[in-house]
Structure 1
Amino acid sequence: MPSLVPPVLPGGALSGREQPTLYADGALTLRPFRPADAPAVALAFTDPAIQRWHTHAMASADEAVAWINQWRVHWAAERAASWAVTDADDALVGRVGLREINLFDGVAEVAYWVLPEARGRGVVVRATEALARWSFEELGLHRLTLRHSTLNQPSCRAAEKAGFALEGVERSALLHTDGWHDMHLHARLTDLA
């Protein structure tokens, strides 16, 4: 059945290009993950806060390498994209990415985490703003969403500081290790970029 509206972005909008390196205020770089990042990624997933809010653990650097390699597959399949957030010394301080990319509708969901030693320095806000700029201005998405547990107040503050307006609560929307969580739904539109 033919669509009455054209796609916001054609197929190939991601897979037809190399994943770019992005720059954020404050000497942060968002670059594709490398296998050499595996020890830092594995260590990140031993952090109780990352495990709590992202509901994953990682057993080894080998498992982290497999995870990193999967991001290349996701980029090529135009399903998701993930960037290592690094400081001025190219040390990993976090991750920011797009999940649930839908090129036809021009939407994606933002996800992130930050290592404990980098928290409280605006890393999430600056990295998310850089990703949003690229998503709207370079890629051409129309809407970005961001979801987090209503219990995760630091994530809520970061989302709002990055320009993602709170739109509502999704009740009992995601299963965490301690049970079902209500989730805040935030969004940012290209017009507000």
Structure 2
Amino acid sequence: MPFLTSPVLAAGTLAHRPQPTLADEGLLLRPWRASDAPAVYEVFQDPVMHQWHARAADSEEEVTGWIRDWHRAWEEEREAQWAVTDADSGLLLGRVALREIRLDDGVAEVAYWTVPAARGRGVAVCAATALTRWALDETGFHRLELLHAVRNEASCRVATRTGFLLEGTKRSALLQPDGRHDAHLHARVRGD
């Protein structure tokens, strides 16, 4: 059955090129490396990560597998994950990602986390802004969504400071370790 609309982004838009490195305001967003596994494992031992993420890391070897999966997800155009590092020192500060990529609709979900020492310093805002600019302005996505637990006030501040408008509350949308949470849905569209 034929579609009545053309895809916003063609298949291969991401996979036909290497994942880019993005730079902005002293940060470098780069593809993950196997050598990042110890730092990512360390971050996932933090209780804040356990509060707002459904995933835990049991070993550095497990995280190395995640990194392989993240590279495969780029090739399959399902997700795009970047390490966020200090541009001068190379120190890992966080992660920013496009998840739930739907090229035909030109839609994806923005996600992020920061290491404990980087929280409250604007790292997530800067990284999410750089990723949003790349996705909407350079790559041609039409809409980016951002979803977070309503009780995660820090994530809400990041979304707002990054220009993602609050569109509403999705009831009981997120399953966290302590049960179901309502979620705020924020979004940006090209031209905002």
TM exceeds 0.5? yes
CA distance in 1, matches of 2:43, 2:110: 19
C-alpha RMSD of matched pairs (Å): 0.6
CA distance in 1, matches of 2:17, 2:51: 34
Aligned length: 191
Which residue of structure 1 aligns with residue 113 of structure 2? 113
Which residue of structure 2 aligns with residue 38 of structure 1? 37
Q: Residue 64 of structure 2: SS of its match in structure 1?
A: helix
Percent of aligned pairs with the same residue?
Answer: 55
Which residue of structure 1 aligns with residue 181 of structure 2? 181
Q: How high is the TM-score relative to the length of structure 1? A: 0.98
Which residue of structure 2 aligns with residue 10 of structure 1? 10
Which residue of structure 1 aligns with residue 134 of structure 2? 134
Which residue of structure 1 aligns with residue 47 of structure 2? 48
- C-alpha offsets along residues 50-77 of structure 1, whole Å, 9 cap, x if unaligned? 1211111101111111000101110011
- C-alpha offsets along residues 6-28 of structure 1, whole Å, 9 cap, x if unaligned? 00000000100100000122x00
Residues 73-112 of structure 1: pairs in structure 2 closer than 5 A: 73-87=72-86, 88-112=88-112
Q: Residue 7 of structure 2: SS of its match in structure 1?
A: coil
CA distance in 2, matches of 1:174, 1:120: 24
- C-alpha offsets along residues 61-95 of structure 1, whole Å, 9 cap, x if unaligned? 11111000101110011000100000120110100
Q: CA deviation at 1:145?
A: 0.2
CA distance in 2, matches of 1:156, 1:147: 9
Q: CA deviation at 1:119?
A: 0.4
Q: CA deviation at 1:171?
A: 0.2
Specify the code of the residue in structure 1 equivalent to 2:103.
L
**Which segments of 5 or more consecutive residues in structure 1 lack a partner in the other structure?**
none
